Chain A
Amino acid sequence: DTGVSQDPRHKITKRGQNVTFRCDPISEHNRLYWYRQTLGQGPEFLTYFQNEAQLEKSRLLSDRFSAERPKGSFSTLEIQRTEQGDSAMYLCASSPFNGDRLQETQYFGPGTRLLVL
Protein backbone atom coordinates (compact mmCIF):
# COMPACT_ATOMS: atom_id res chain seq x y z
CA ASP A 1 0.00 0.00 0.00
CA THR A 2 1.65 3.21 -1.16
CA GLY A 3 0.51 6.49 0.28
CA VAL A 4 0.83 9.98 -1.11
CA SER A 5 4.41 10.73 -2.13
CA GLN A 6 6.07 14.08 -2.69
CA ASP A 7 9.35 15.01 -4.30
CA PRO A 8 11.68 16.54 -3.31
CA ARG A 9 11.37 16.37 0.46
CA HIS A 10 13.59 19.42 0.90
CA LYS A 11 14.49 22.29 -1.41
CA ILE A 12 16.80 25.23 -0.80
CA THR A 13 16.80 27.95 -3.41
CA LYS A 14 17.85 31.54 -3.86
CA ARG A 15 15.36 34.36 -4.08
CA GLY A 16 14.19 34.88 -7.64
CA GLN A 17 14.67 31.29 -8.77
CA ASN A 18 11.85 29.04 -9.95
CA VAL A 19 11.04 25.78 -8.17
CA THR A 20 8.74 22.87 -9.01
CA PHE A 21 7.35 20.24 -6.67
CA ARG A 22 5.72 16.97 -7.56
CA CYS A 23 2.95 15.04 -5.83
CA ASP A 24 1.89 11.47 -6.59
CA PRO A 25 -1.51 10.71 -5.03
CA ILE A 26 -2.81 7.38 -3.84
CA SER A 27 -3.71 5.34 -6.89
CA GLU A 28 -7.27 5.95 -8.15
CA HIS A 29 -7.83 8.94 -5.87
CA ASN A 30 -9.55 11.46 -8.11
CA ARG A 31 -9.10 14.52 -5.90
CA LEU A 32 -5.75 16.13 -5.19
CA TYR A 33 -5.11 19.07 -2.89
CA TRP A 34 -2.23 21.43 -2.22
CA TYR A 35 -1.76 23.14 1.16
CA ARG A 36 0.94 25.42 2.56
CA GLN A 37 2.10 25.25 6.17
CA THR A 38 4.31 27.92 7.71
CA LEU A 39 6.22 27.36 10.92
CA GLY A 40 3.96 27.05 13.95
CA GLN A 41 0.75 27.26 11.93
CA GLY A 42 -1.83 24.87 10.59
CA PRO A 43 -1.94 24.04 6.89
CA GLU A 44 -3.72 26.52 4.60
CA PHE A 45 -5.58 25.48 1.47
CA LEU A 46 -4.05 26.53 -1.85
CA THR A 47 -5.88 24.67 -4.61
CA TYR A 48 -7.46 21.37 -5.58
CA PHE A 49 -8.11 19.20 -8.61
CA GLN A 50 -10.79 16.73 -9.45
CA ASN A 51 -9.19 14.49 -12.04
CA GLU A 52 -7.37 16.93 -14.34
CA ALA A 53 -9.64 19.91 -13.67
CA GLN A 54 -8.48 22.61 -11.25
CA LEU A 55 -11.74 23.47 -9.48
CA GLU A 56 -10.76 25.98 -6.84
CA LYS A 57 -7.89 28.29 -6.00
CA SER A 58 -7.27 30.19 -2.78
CA ARG A 59 -6.47 33.88 -2.78
CA LEU A 60 -3.16 32.74 -1.26
CA LEU A 61 -2.24 31.38 -4.69
CA SER A 62 -0.66 34.44 -6.27
CA ASP A 63 0.07 34.65 -9.99
CA ARG A 64 3.60 33.39 -9.28
CA PHE A 65 2.11 30.02 -8.34
CA SER A 66 0.79 27.54 -10.86
CA ALA A 67 -0.43 23.99 -10.39
CA GLU A 68 -1.18 21.33 -12.94
CA ARG A 69 -2.50 17.80 -13.04
CA PRO A 70 -2.28 17.05 -16.74
CA LYS A 71 -3.43 13.44 -16.85
CA GLY A 72 -5.41 13.34 -13.66
CA SER A 73 -2.69 11.43 -11.86
CA PHE A 74 0.38 13.24 -10.48
CA SER A 75 0.43 17.00 -9.93
CA THR A 76 3.09 19.69 -10.02
CA LEU A 77 3.22 22.98 -8.15
CA GLU A 78 5.53 25.61 -9.58
CA ILE A 79 6.59 28.81 -7.87
CA GLN A 80 8.17 31.43 -10.11
CA ARG A 81 10.50 34.19 -8.89
CA THR A 82 10.56 32.82 -5.35
CA GLU A 83 10.48 35.19 -2.39
CA GLN A 84 11.64 34.63 1.17
CA GLY A 85 7.99 34.64 2.23
CA ASP A 86 7.43 31.49 0.16
CA SER A 87 9.50 29.50 2.67
CA ALA A 88 7.13 26.90 4.06
CA MET A 89 6.14 23.23 3.99
CA TYR A 90 4.04 22.42 0.92
CA LEU A 91 1.68 19.53 1.59
CA CYS A 92 -0.21 17.44 -0.92
CA ALA A 93 -3.28 15.37 -0.10
CA SER A 94 -5.55 13.08 -2.08
CA SER A 95 -9.01 11.66 -1.57
CA PRO A 96 -11.30 9.13 -3.27
CA PHE A 97 -14.18 11.54 -3.72
CA ASN A 98 -17.30 9.82 -5.08
CA GLY A 99 -19.72 12.72 -4.95
CA ASP A 100 -20.63 12.23 -1.31
CA ARG A 101 -18.94 14.75 0.99
CA LEU A 102 -19.65 12.44 3.92
CA GLN A 103 -17.26 9.91 2.50
CA GLU A 104 -14.37 12.24 1.74
CA THR A 105 -11.23 11.87 3.82
CA GLN A 106 -7.99 13.49 2.75
CA TYR A 107 -4.72 11.58 3.05
CA PHE A 108 -1.56 13.64 3.25
CA GLY A 109 1.93 13.18 1.89
CA PRO A 110 5.14 13.91 3.83
CA GLY A 111 5.46 17.41 2.40
CA THR A 112 8.17 19.39 0.63
CA ARG A 113 10.02 21.85 2.84
CA LEU A 114 11.10 24.93 0.89
CA LEU A 115 13.69 27.41 2.13
CA VAL A 116 14.23 30.55 0.09
CA LEU A 117 17.48 32.34 0.90
Chain B
Amino acid sequence: AQSVTQLDSQVPVFEEAPVELRCNYSSSVSVYLFWYVQYPNQGLQLLLKYLSGSTLVKGINGFEAEFNKSQTSFHLRKPSVHISDTAEYFCAVNAGNMLTFGGGTRLMVKP
Protein backbone atom coordinates (compact mmCIF):
# COMPACT_ATOMS: atom_id res chain seq x y z
CA ALA B 1 0.00 0.00 0.00
CA GLN B 2 1.09 3.54 -0.58
CA SER B 3 0.30 6.83 1.12
CA VAL B 4 1.00 10.51 0.57
CA THR B 5 1.43 13.21 3.19
CA GLN B 6 1.27 16.90 2.43
CA LEU B 7 2.54 18.48 5.60
CA ASP B 8 1.06 21.94 5.12
CA SER B 9 -2.67 22.38 4.65
CA GLN B 10 -2.26 26.09 3.86
CA VAL B 11 0.69 28.13 2.67
CA PRO B 12 0.29 31.93 2.59
CA VAL B 13 2.91 33.79 0.58
CA PHE B 14 3.35 37.26 -0.89
CA GLU B 15 3.34 37.79 -4.64
CA GLU B 16 6.78 37.38 -6.28
CA ALA B 17 8.12 35.44 -3.29
CA PRO B 18 9.43 31.87 -3.66
CA VAL B 19 7.36 28.96 -2.43
CA GLU B 20 7.85 25.29 -1.58
CA LEU B 21 4.99 22.86 -1.09
CA ARG B 22 6.04 19.70 0.69
CA CYS B 23 5.10 16.15 -0.20
CA ASN B 24 6.27 12.89 1.36
CA TYR B 25 5.22 9.44 0.30
CA SER B 26 5.51 5.86 1.45
CA SER B 27 5.37 2.80 -0.73
CA SER B 28 6.75 -0.71 -0.77
CA VAL B 29 7.23 -0.63 -4.54
CA SER B 30 8.57 1.77 -7.13
CA VAL B 31 6.39 4.80 -7.53
CA TYR B 32 5.62 7.40 -10.09
CA LEU B 33 4.87 10.84 -8.72
CA PHE B 34 2.61 13.66 -9.83
CA TRP B 35 1.57 17.16 -8.85
CA TYR B 36 -1.88 18.41 -9.83
CA VAL B 37 -3.44 21.85 -9.36
CA GLN B 38 -7.12 22.48 -8.74
CA TYR B 39 -8.65 25.92 -9.19
CA PRO B 40 -11.98 26.65 -7.45
CA ASN B 41 -14.88 24.58 -8.76
CA GLN B 42 -12.71 22.90 -11.37
CA GLY B 43 -11.13 19.51 -11.94
CA LEU B 44 -7.46 18.67 -11.55
CA GLN B 45 -4.84 19.88 -14.02
CA LEU B 46 -1.51 18.10 -14.32
CA LEU B 47 1.42 20.32 -13.31
CA LEU B 48 4.28 17.85 -13.66
CA LYS B 49 5.25 14.23 -13.22
CA TYR B 50 8.25 12.09 -12.30
CA LEU B 51 8.43 8.75 -14.03
CA SER B 52 12.17 8.09 -14.30
CA GLY B 53 15.44 9.79 -15.24
CA SER B 54 16.43 13.20 -13.92
CA THR B 55 15.22 13.81 -10.40
CA LEU B 56 14.51 17.48 -11.15
CA VAL B 57 11.28 17.78 -13.09
CA LYS B 58 10.02 20.95 -14.70
CA GLY B 59 6.32 21.53 -15.25
CA ILE B 60 3.90 24.14 -16.48
CA ASN B 61 3.49 27.67 -15.09
CA GLY B 62 7.11 27.82 -13.90
CA PHE B 63 6.78 25.04 -11.31
CA GLU B 64 9.41 22.37 -10.68
CA ALA B 65 9.76 19.44 -8.30
CA GLU B 66 12.63 17.31 -7.09
CA PHE B 67 12.34 13.59 -6.45
CA ASN B 68 14.40 12.48 -3.44
CA LYS B 69 14.29 8.72 -3.01
CA SER B 70 16.27 8.59 0.23
CA GLN B 71 13.92 11.10 1.89
CA THR B 72 10.85 9.78 0.05
CA SER B 73 9.93 13.31 -0.89
CA PHE B 74 8.71 15.15 -3.98
CA HIS B 75 8.55 18.83 -3.02
CA LEU B 76 7.09 21.39 -5.41
CA ARG B 77 8.79 24.75 -5.87
CA LYS B 78 8.36 28.00 -7.73
CA PRO B 79 10.90 30.84 -7.52
CA SER B 80 8.36 33.65 -7.87
CA VAL B 81 4.61 33.21 -7.43
CA HIS B 82 1.78 35.17 -9.00
CA ILE B 83 -1.68 35.96 -7.73
CA SER B 84 -3.01 33.53 -10.35
CA ASP B 85 -1.17 30.65 -8.63
CA THR B 86 -3.71 30.76 -5.79
CA ALA B 87 -5.23 27.27 -5.85
CA GLU B 88 -5.20 23.85 -4.19
CA TYR B 89 -2.20 21.66 -4.99
CA PHE B 90 -2.26 17.86 -4.74
CA CYS B 91 0.65 15.45 -4.70
CA ALA B 92 -0.10 11.92 -5.90
CA VAL B 93 1.65 8.58 -6.32
CA ASN B 94 0.90 5.82 -8.78
CA ALA B 95 2.23 2.50 -7.57
CA GLY B 96 -0.42 0.38 -9.19
CA ASN B 97 -3.43 1.10 -11.31
CA MET B 98 -4.75 4.13 -9.47
CA LEU B 99 -3.55 7.40 -8.03
CA THR B 100 -3.27 7.92 -4.27
CA PHE B 101 -3.52 11.59 -3.37
CA GLY B 102 -2.37 13.64 -0.43
CA GLY B 103 -4.79 15.87 1.42
CA GLY B 104 -3.81 18.94 -0.56
CA THR B 105 -2.11 22.26 0.18
CA ARG B 106 -3.94 25.51 -0.34
CA LEU B 107 -1.54 28.11 -1.74
CA MET B 108 -2.74 31.63 -0.98
CA VAL B 109 -0.80 34.35 -2.81
CA LYS B 110 -1.25 37.80 -1.33
CA PRO B 111 -0.54 41.10 -3.12
- A110–B42 touching, CB < 8 Å: yes
Q: Is the CB of A91 within 8 A of B52?
A: no
A41 with B103, Cβ < 8 A, contacts A102-B51, A104-B94, A109-B43 known: yes
- Known A-B contacts A55-B97, A56-B97, A102-B51; A42 and B102 likewise in contact (beta carbons under 8 Å): yes
Whether B94 contacts A108 by the Cβ 8 Å rule is no
Residues of B near A45 (CB, < 8 A) are 98-100
List B residues 61-111 near A (Cβ within 8 Å).
Answer: 90, 92, 94, 97-104
B49 pairs with A4, CB closer than 8 A: no
Interface 0/1 of A104-117, CB less than 8 Å to B: 11111111010000
Interface set of B (CB-CB < 8 Å, partner A): 4, 32, 34, 36, 41-46, 49, 51-52, 90, 92, 94, 97-104
| Between-chain CB contacts (< 8 Å), 25 pairs | A6-B43, A35-B99, A40-B103, A41-B104, A42-B101, A42-B102, A42-B103, A42-B104, A43-B90, A43-B99, A43-B101, A45-B98, A48-B97, A91-B43, A91-B44, A93-B44, A102-B32, A104-B32, A105-B34, A107-B46, A108-B36, A108-B43, A110-B42, A111-B42, A113-B41
